[in-house]
Amino acid sequence: MMFRTAQLILRETNRVLGRTTTSPAFFSRFSTAASSSQKLAGKVAVITGGASGIGKATAAENGAKVIIADVQDDLGRSVAAELGPDAAYTRCDVADEAQVAAAVDLAVERHGHLDVLFNNAGVSGTIRRQDDLASMDLAGFDRVMAVNARAALVGIKHAARVMAPRRRGCVLCTASGAGVLSVPSIPVPPRYIAIVRATAEPLARHGVRVNAISPGAVRTPLMRRVSAEMFLGKSEEELKQIMESDFVIAPEHVAAAAV
């Protein structure tokens, strides 16, 4: 996703830094999560990566009883405290299957069942040129695959474990627009889509829906770090303008899609 996104953001940056900008009216056609703030009232959800960015926006606006699963302890506890008694934080490294299973079990223990699992946690890995594969860091690749791709399958597995007996439930995976693009240097997003496609049909027989959300550039802390790496040498003001450009959408727009 990110290399292709970088090209698009760079064009946008050129406009932001002296030419024209995309009209904010473009995004006014899309509802925000706020309009769906109680749509999931009474439901039970586990959101991985729920302490910041897209996960936090989704947790804050959906009205469900939420288990925020993350490795950012202070942020996670703070978000849970803000949301009130219907929210709880649990430390969960999604690369560890036992911790994902424990987050699912916590939801069932506290609320009796699980309606939604949002596989949203992710890391960016090292951003490099598409023609720079000879120097690819495979240890970094393995980490990205463990956190982004394998963890999606682990989440689906353990959600199905508790959802299928009830014949109801929804699993969402934050994927990427790069899932439909050829981006050899960032090979994970197509794996998300493949995992979703491979699991959606068999789990549908058990009443469980599996879907992916594939955004482009989103205004999150992760995207800010990636932008700083992609646009090395840009000033803080230039990076700020990139992140605030109309091309980079708000986490709430993705949260609305999740809800």
**CB burial class (10 A; 0-12, 13-18, 19+) of residue 129?**
exposed
Q: What are the C-alpha distances in Å from 208 to residues 80, 101, 117?
A: 27, 17, 11
Residue 245: both structure tokens together: 């450009």
The angle that helices 73-83 and 53-61 make with each other, rounded to 10 degrees, is: 20
Residue 157: both structure tokens together: 């597995």
Whether the CB-CB separation of 152 and 192 falls below 8 Å is answered with yes
Show the CA angle centred on residue 27, arms to residues 23 and 32, nearest 5°: 150
The angle that helices 97-111 and 151-163 make with each other, rounded to 10 degrees, is: 30
Whether the CB-CB separation of 21 and 15 falls below 8 Å is answered with yes
Residue 9: both structure tokens together: 């953001």
Whether the CB-CB separation of 229 and 209 falls below 8 Å is answered with no
Which residue in 89, 118, 192, 247 is the catalytic one? 192
Q: Is 192 a catalytic residue?
A: yes
CA 134 to CA 214: how far, in whole Å?
A: 28
CA 13 to CA 148: how far, in whole Å?
A: 28
- Residues carrying an active site annotation: 192
